[in-house]
């Protein structure tokens, strides 16, 4: 009975890790799109004195 519970627990943990990794991929994709849009807006010249859309 204990090995079956351990296998089920392992499957649950791996499912949770897989879901978290998939969510992190979507977040990374959204950040990449925002970053690329920042370059597009910067190239149009709209913005501050140096043409940046961020302050770094």
pLDDT digits (tens, 9 = 90+) for 18-42: 888 888 999 999 999 998 888 777 7
- pLDDT value for 26: 93
Name the CA dihedral angle for 35, 36, 37, 43, rounded to a multiple of 10 degrees.
Answer: 110
Q: In the structure, what pLDDT confidence band is assigned to residue 43 with cuts at 50, 70 and 90? A: low
pTM confidence score: 0.56
35/37 Cα distance (integer angstroms): 5
3-state secondary structure of 51: coil
- pLDDT value for 46: 52
Contact 11, 2 (CB under 8 A): no
Q: Phi then psi for 31, rounded to 5 degrees?
A: -65, -40
Contact 45, 51 (CB under 8 A): yes
């Amino acid at each position: 009975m204990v090995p079956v519970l351990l296998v089920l627990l392992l499957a649950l943990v791996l499912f949770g890790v897989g879901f978290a990794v998939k969510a992190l991929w979507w977040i990374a994709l959204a950040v990449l799109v925002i970053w690329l849009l920042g370059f597009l807006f910067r190239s149009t010249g709209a913005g501050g004195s140096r043409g940046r859309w961020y302050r770094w």
